[in-house]
Structure 1
């Protein structure tokens, strides 16, 4: 069951952060300052938001979704539970926020593509997707969803809606733009083509990474794999532009 918001309190009490992990030490909140009750500045609020997400992400990856509580996150962050519940009404909402923070940069890049050269833009977005998939924090999130998703179906549904669907829709959008410009053959700008591209780019590397096999260790290996997968995809859809240089 999700942890729900407790009765509200009159103020938050956040003390100096404890340098327990590298993640904590790199956080801009750790500047030897104490937070006080009262109205924080917008900058302070942004710093605290990011800090809480980083702390939560580390604990979720370390202990899993079921093994992590709002109490643990509050203690690790040296924050009150009310500080967290003011931002996220439940543990599910916090976990989805952690995933959204992880994938936000790539999703923003997808949404901002100008469609001047859709096929080349799709290639660029696909490289970002591969890089994101193989990040340790992303793999930790995948493992959580695999381990706990069946026990928390609403969590899995929210993750798909918040992350998976926007990725898929952005890829379809670029495929349709490429089709309209004659860059791919008609009939290849649909849901199936988008899923085939995603599977081709990330499927094997993700599977091996989840098994702890650590594929594509070097940048050269990753680039070589991506370029070959992209060439396979272009041939399948009749791509006429954006073939990577040899």
Structure 2
């Protein structure tokens, strides 16, 4: 019956969310290497069989956390007009700032940094599954603005690094060192606007 199928899907989704939340907490509290899947199952109040069915390895669980954190990247620039880079960059910058301001994002970065000596591959997987796809989305948009003649961007990689860096340097990186860093929405919006204006001034079509 359709209703029964929908119910089971909701139950599975709820259990998946509980598992991911428990894993994030345990990874943050005691580290990735010292956390077992059995501990995650117990904290999520699901059976080990249920956890193993969705996440057969701890690496698969970590990858799911990364993909969930960076989910806003999906199709980020599909509907942005390359002929209007100001509006497009403001939209991208707002999404990026919101993503970096989430506690889960800061927690993921702290985990990767803390575990680097014992689990260096976590950083690579966080980059490959999370940051790089987002970066590529923005780089494709900047390349499209160049193709449209609305910006002059000879090196989209450098332009993307500069634009995203102006935002992350205000929103995310102070949070790695200052536990009380919590800029207001207005301050974040101002930083995004400054990043947009700086990019438009640097790469405005000649």
TM range (shorter): 0.7 to 0.9
Higher relative contact order (CA 8 A, sep 6+): 2
Match of 2:195 in 1: 229
Higher share in helix: 2
Which digits, 9 at most, give the CA deviation of each residue in 1:178-227, with x for residues without a partner?
11122211414x21211111111112332211111544521111112221
The alignment status of 1:178 with 2:145, answered yes or no, reads yes
Alpha-carbon contact 2:90-2:193 (below 8 Å) kept: no
**What is the distance in 2 between the residues matched to 1:89 and 1:108?**
25
**What is the distance in 1 between the residues matched to 2:117 and 2:201?**
38
Structure 1 segment 91-240 matched on structure 2, within 5 A: 91-104=58-71, 106-110=72-76, 113-117=78-82, 119=85, 120-188=87-155, 190-212=156-178, 214-215=180-181, 217-238=183-204
Gaps spanning 5+ residues in structure 2: where? 1-6
Change (3 A) 1:177 1:165: same
SS at match of 1:41: helix
**What is the distance in 2 between the residues matched to 1:154 and 1:162?**
12
How far does residue 157 in structure 1 lie from its aligned partner after superposition?
1.7
Which digits, 9 at most, give the CA deviation of each residue in 1:24-76, with x for residues without a partner?
xxxxxxxxxxxxxxxx8222222222221122122222333233221211111
**What is the distance in 1 between the residues matched to 2:189 and 2:45?**
42
Q: CA RMSD in A?
A: 2.1
Q: Number of aligned pairs?
A: 198
TM-score when normalising by structure 2: 0.86
Change (3 A) 1:239 1:127: farther
Gaps spanning 5+ residues in structure 1: where? 1-39, 241-246
Match of 1:11 in 2: none
Change (3 A) 1:185 1:214: farther
Match of 2:34 in 1: 67
TM-score when normalising by structure 1: 0.73
**What is the distance in 1 between the residues matched to 2:159 and 2:15?**
41
